[in-house]
Amino acid sequence: MYSEKVMDHFQNPRNVGEIPDADGVGLEGNPVCGDVMQIWIKVKDDRIMDAKFKTFGCGAAIATSSMVTELVKGKTLDEALQISNAAVAQALDGLPSHKMHCSNLAADALHKAIDDYRNKARGDAQAKDAGAAN
């Protein structure tokens, strides 16, 4: 039913935890199944240097969260935005069709973390511009 990679990432998840001074945070959940995942990213020079997650959910949700944090490390923000639910599932050697929504949650939480980072960065740049104008 589940691939060896799914089972490995479920039983030995990578990058579990929070990044206290994260540059971006993304939260995604599915009210139907009850899965909720949160992803924290640390960014330097437009590149994701670290990613961590906390997930409340089934084994597939934990495995997809773990895999997405592995996939993004070292990638630029634009490269990380290209990571889709299909890419997450493929990296895990597939998911049962009734568990594909878990890969959607992982990809969506990642994209929300990147959006959060970019929104904060824009806000900081606008604040600096306003300060320079005064």
Instruction: Give the residue numbers marked as catalytic.
Output: 33, 102
Q: How many whole angstroms separate alpha carbon 87 and alpha carbon 36?
A: 20
19's CB contacts (< 8 A; 6+ apart) are 40, 41, 42, 50, 51, 52
